[in-house]
Amino acid sequence: MKPFVPQKLPLEQVEWGPLIPLIASANRSLAFFDGVLQGISNPELLLSPLTTQEAVLSSRIEGTQATLGDVLKFEAGEKPSEVQRQEDIREIMNYRRALRQAEQALKQKPFNLNLLKDLHATLLDSVRGRNMARGRFRTVQNWIGLPNTPIEQAHFIPPEPELVPEYLDNWEKYYHMQRPDALVQLAIVHAQFEIIHPFLDGNGRLGRMIIPLFLYEKRLLSRPMFYLSAFLEEHREAYVSHLRSLGQTSDAWNAWIEFFLTGVEHQARANAEKARNIMALYDRLKEEVITLTHSQFAVPLLDKMFAHPVFQISQLSWKNMPTRPMMNTLISKLKDAGIVEVLRRGSGRRGQVFVLAELINTAEGKKVV
């Protein structure tokens, strides 16, 4: 197998006819999702479990094992015993940090290759990829195959390193072009990025991180908060096999685009449902916490718990917050009412760990806590 020579974008051979129904339904679902997003007054806060979950699932496609619960517990000071699991969690937290960094950066200027390198540096900050030319495009040949197998047994060999700058330049220009349909364009942007494979590691995760950014810049979303990894993880084999076909035959593009649009259509509906469930939970808990505590601190406390659904009391802090004894009383009322549960009893210097289980279960779409 030789290094692949990709096509330049825009592609010539996309057949629009068969895609039209899917284009329509995927755009409709995404617009519906965006409507839900626009109805949430503070989506960064309320949907923060979904952002963490995206980081978990996108990293899982890469092979990490940690769960949303593991990450949230880690943040509350509960470290897993296995070193591997700790590394996984750190990678996931880097991923989430990179997502937020990207959201901020796009407020200043449009997406560009320097931002991509910055995001790569954040993603691989002091984890397994630290020797993987952090924040730099590759200057050596890489290949995709089973772990620790030589290039002779590769499934796919991305373009020669000398060609990477030229293909990235073409890719970046295409990203900013006006094309007939932005979702089809995004399918192509993602796949071409994976084909170029410009980094030594982290290409899959960065390629997936671009999805909400692109949709936001193309104004299909009011905020860069649409996450596709749940679908891609669930259909991991199909995802990878479609990508692999693109390196084998130029006829494979239509099938890839169909797969991608199906994913957007499905995931936009699923995410809209989740976002609505989280919002409904927030509204209900707000009433309950106010009624229970009659406290001016009810809403700020609830907001803090949404940002940190697993927590120790000492970790909840905000401006003008109540005294510690009052915090203890408030949490104790919530505990008696079953709104929060004790995840781990305190002992010695270790504080009690509480969990807002309903939020985690709602974000996961099933009972996990």
Ligand X SMILES: Nc1ncnc2c1ncn2[C@@H]1O[C@H](COP(=O)(O)OP(=O)(O)O)[C@@H](O)[C@H]1O
Q: Could you tell me which stretch among 13-21, 35-43, 180-188, 200-208 binds ligand X (CB under 6 A)? A: 200-208
Q: How far is Cα of residue 39 from the mean position of the Cα atoms in its chain?
A: 21
Report DSSP letters for 89-144, one per residue: HHHHHHHHHHHHHHHHHHHHS---HHHHHHHHHHHTTTSGGGGS-TTS---S---B
Q: Footprint of ligand X on residues 226-255 (CB under 6 A)?
A: 240, 243-244, 247
Residue 61 is a binding residue for ligand X (CB under 6 A): yes
| Closest distance to ligand X from the beta carbon of 59 (Å) | 8
| From candidates 10, 14, 62, 135, binder to ligand X by CB under 6 A | 62
Q: Which positions lie near Mg ion, rule CB under 5 A?
A: 201
240 secondary structure, DSSP code: H
Cβ distance 254 to 151 under 8 Å? no
128 or 344: CB nearest Mg ion:
128
Binding flags for ligand X, 131-160, as an x/- string (CB under 6 A): -------------x----------xx----
| Closest distance to ligand X from the beta carbon of 82 (Å) | 20
φ and ψ at residue 355, rounded to 5 degrees: -135, 135
The position carrying tokens 């009322």 is 333
| Closest distance to ligand X from the beta carbon of 65 (Å) | 14
Residue 207 is a binding residue for ligand X (CB under 6 A): yes
Buried b (16+ CB within 10 A) or exposed e, 238-260: ebbebbeebbeeeebbbebbbbb
| Closest distance to ligand X from the beta carbon of 193 (Å) | 8
113 or 240: CB nearest ligand X:
240
Residue 202 is a binding residue for ligand X (CB under 6 A): yes
| From candidates 3, 6, 49, 204, binder to ligand X by CB under 6 A | 204
Cα–Cα distance between 167 and 173 in angstroms, integer? 10
One-letter amino acid identity for 336?
A: D
| Closest distance to ligand X from the beta carbon of 74 (Å) | 20
Say which entry of ligand X, Mg ion, none residue 194 contacts (CB below 5 to 8 A, set by partner kind): ligand X
In sign, the C-alpha dihedral spanning 166, 61, 257, 216 is: negative
Give the interface with ligand X as residue ranges (CB under 6 A).
61-62, 144, 155-156, 194-195, 201-205, 207, 240, 243-244, 247
